[in-house]
Structure 1
């Protein structure tokens, strides 16, 4: 059983504009997330997580994997994402 509801062209236009704005916002937010490099410095990793460097150091102490080469520390984006998912409550 199907029902038809006609709310007028103005309503259709307003809804279309709202949906378009929501899609554009979602795509914009996705592009911001994707702008982070695959391998991040600790500072960039903290920004990616929206936490302080001190909090990031706590995550590292709790098992977040990092790579250290010649004193240069990097964190892989996938390791950050996996670490966060592993700590869901």
Structure 2
């Protein structure tokens, strides 16, 4: 392990950046959790963190869409599974 000291001003800048990153990650996670389990396509794109056009490509590539009474919904599980199946 390498140890070194940084000036207090630099440490404060690092601390502020780390806090900012953690806050952004928490806000994104909160936003995603607030979405319903069965989502409209616009919500699904937000959950998947992609544009609506990219979501369309995912659907063509095999992302599961449930259709009941002409209403299309995508589950959080379908998106999570799609990403897991695409891991290298």
TM-score by length of 2: 0.65
Q: Paired residues, what number?
A: 87
* Aligned-partner Cα distance in 1 for 2:27–2:12: 22
5+ long unaligned stretches in structure 1? none
* Aligned-partner Cα distance in 1 for 2:16–2:55: 40
Secondary structure of 2:18 counterpart: helix
Does the aligned pair in 2 maintain the 1:43–1:53 contact within 8 Å?
Answer: no
Q: Does 1:68 align with 2:67?
A: yes
* Aligned-partner Cα distance in 2 for 1:9–1:62: 51
5+ long unaligned stretches in structure 2? none
The corresponding residue for 1:83 is 82
Q: Deviation of residue 53 (structure 1)?
A: 4.4
Does the aligned pair in 2 maintain the 1:40–1:74 contact within 8 Å?
Answer: yes
In the TM superposition, structure 1's runs of 4+ consecutive aligned residues that sit over 6 Å from their partners are none
* Aligned-partner Cα distance in 2 for 1:21–1:10: 17
- CA pair 51-13 structure 1, distance change in 2 beyond 3 A: closer
